[in-house]
Amino acid sequence: MSLAAGHSTATTFQTGRAVGKELASIGLSWVLAPTLDLLSDSTEPLDASQTFGSNPAIVRDHATALIQGLAAEGISACPNAHPAWPLLEVFRSQSLTELAENVEEVSQTPEFTPLANFCATHPHDSLQFGEPVHDFPELEDTAHAIRATREFILRGRCRYQGPTVSSVAEAPEGATVCDKHLPFLTMLSGLNMVKLPKDPEAQLESIKILEAAVMSCPLSARLVRESAARVAKFKTQFLSWPKALTPRQPESLLLPNHHNFAQHAYQASITAVSEGASPLRGLAPTSILLLLTPSVPRKHPNSPSDPFEPLGRALSTSFSRLRHVPYTLSAGLTEIHRPFLQRAAAVILVLCNISSALIESQDEVVSAVQSILRARDAMPGQQRTRKVVIGAGDPRDLRDDFPGWWEVCCYDYSRGALEAVTKVVLGQREATGVLPA
């Protein structure tokens, strides 16, 4: 999403080339990216940053640019899409014949624009899918319905001929199917390649279940032969053992221009949601600046234990009295935070995917911080607190009303994104990003 916020397909193309160089340096020639899905109300916040936004044309153009950049370095992209999702509710009430009659109309909706464009321009490349077969009680009936929909949309409407790949390796918690049965169900739903679970024992069981399904005919011989033919053609055209065994020299990744380009891409994406300049511009360097950051998973095993440490370090170069006080989602604000909120001349509150169903809510923390600062600012003779809120994930975090706060979005909490947003918050750079439509 940060690439779309930078509103430059040229930058997205160059990003594809940069990623392609990294992959080629370790012998890889295939990548499961980008996503062709549009950002919508049903998009899980943790997945929002992987989309290019909600505008079909923008998603199409940036996905195309990224794929072309990867291809320029010899890397084949395998985009992720969910073409059956708009029809899942239809499965419950219509026969496959009735479903087929509606596919032509549905496949011409704007949501299908990125997928249709990819199929037209890359008819033999691979595509990644993750329909939630496990979300329905009649698992085999649903698998057949999803397979029929893919046939109608991909093979019929879009004339796509490449192999389809499962994006799901493990069933989510609470699903009615266990991990070892998921590869069978996804293959039954028409996918040509499936992912196996991480657990070695579950992998072996999955293979045995697939073998038994072929022998006892739940998986037809035609389906297996068709999958084998599509995968074999794809491997011949796009995958190469010589490339894998003789990778490029990784020294090329250490060139300064590679780092500089990444820095430029992050800077171009920073988006000011509020009008006017940052309230921290002109704040005395000796003022107390309070930084409140949530406890979130690390991006990489080698990352700092606190992912927002780079943000604190970058801010501390301008404010000697910076106080970085993280908050846990379970404990919320504690007696440690309150004294700092009472004394700070300025407060930076970081939000990260606050509406996700997969992490604890940050709403209580947001409400508590606003309540404390409102009471403090209402005291006679009290100088108003300068307030900044940073969205370091899903930009929809900033949909709620933050009266009196200056809002800015960096879409991510990687080191590059945090260092880029720091320059905007400090007033050292203008925010040039645009919220992806």
pLDDT of amino acid 99: 58
Strands, E assignment, 192-272? 271-272
The answer to whether 13 touches 68, Cβ cutoff 8 Å, is yes
Which residue do the tokens 């990224």 mark?
66
pLDDT of amino acid 204: 92
| Separation CA 301–CA 319 (nearest Å) | 29
pLDDT of amino acid 385: 94
Regions in the chain scoring below 70 on pLDDT: 83-107, 130-149, 169, 171-177, 248-257, 299-304, 354-361, 437
pTM, two decimal places: 0.84
pLDDT of amino acid 229: 92
pLDDT of amino acid 89: 47
| Separation CA 353–CA 47 (nearest Å) | 9
pLDDT of amino acid 173: 64
pLDDT of amino acid 91: 47
DSSP string, 44-97: -HHHHTTS--S-HHHHHHHHHHHHHHHHHTT-EE--EE-TTGGGHHHHHH--HH
Angle of helix 96-106 relative to helix 139-150, nearest 10 degrees? 40
Which residue do the tokens 């019929």 mark?
156
**Helical segments of 84-199, H only:** 88-93, 96-106, 113-121, 139-150, 182-188
The per-residue pLDDT for range 303-358, each reduced to its tens digit, is: 667 889 999 999 999 999 999 999 887 777 888 898 999 999 999 999 987 666 54
What residues contact residue 317 under an 8 Å CB cut-off, 6+ apart?
none
Strand partners, 382: none
C-alpha distances (whole Å) from 388 to each of 79, 101, 234, 335, 408 are 36, 52, 50, 22, 8
pLDDT of amino acid 236: 87
**Closest by alpha carbon to 3, among 410, 351, 308, 352?**
410
pLDDT of amino acid 302: 67
